[in-house]
Amino acid sequence: MTRLRATTILAVRHKGKTVVAGDGQVTLENSVIKHHAKKVRKIYKDRIIVGFAGATADALNLSERLEKKLEQYNGNLTRAAVELARDWRTDKFLRRLEAIMIAVDDANMYLLSGNGDVIEPDEGIIGIGSGGHVAQAAATALIRHTDLDASSVIQEAMRIASSICVYTNDSITVEEI
Spelled out in words, what is the top-level CATH class assigned to the domain 4-172?
alpha beta
- The predicted-structure confidence for 24-59, as pLDDT tens digits, reads as follows 998 888 889 999 999 999 999 999 999 998 877 788
* Catalytic positions: 7
Give the confidence band of 92 by pLDDT, cuts at 50, 70, 90. Answer: confident
**CB neighbours of residue 55 within 10 Å:** 16
Phi-psi region of 121 (alpha: psi -120 to 50; beta: other; left: phi over 0): beta
Among 35-39, 82-86, 151-155, name the most confident range: 151-155
The C-alpha atoms of residue 9 and residue 158 are separated, in whole angstroms, by: 8
pLDDT greater than 60 at residue 169: yes
pLDDT greater than 80 at residue 5: no
pLDDT greater than 50 at residue 106: yes
Higher pLDDT residue, 28 or 172? 172
Annotated domain spans of the chain:
4-172
Q: Which residues of 6-28 are buried (b: 16+ CB within 10 A; e: fewer)?
A: bbbbbbbbbeeebbbbbbbbbbe
Strands (E), 88-172: 99-104, 109-113, 118-119, 125-129
pLDDT greater than 90 at residue 97: no
pLDDT greater than 60 at residue 2: no
Task: Give the 3-state secondary structure of residue 94.
Answer: helix
pLDDT greater than 80 at residue 86: yes
Q: What is the DSSP letter of 108?
A: -
- The pLDDT, as a whole number, for residue 6 is 66
Strands (E), 107-172: 109-113, 118-119, 125-129
- The pLDDT, as a whole number, for residue 156 is 98
DSSP H helices in 11-131: 56-72, 77-90
Average pLDDT over residues 146-172: 97
**Amino acid identity for residue 156 in this structure:** E
The C-alpha atoms of residue 49 and residue 63 are separated, in whole angstroms, by: 10
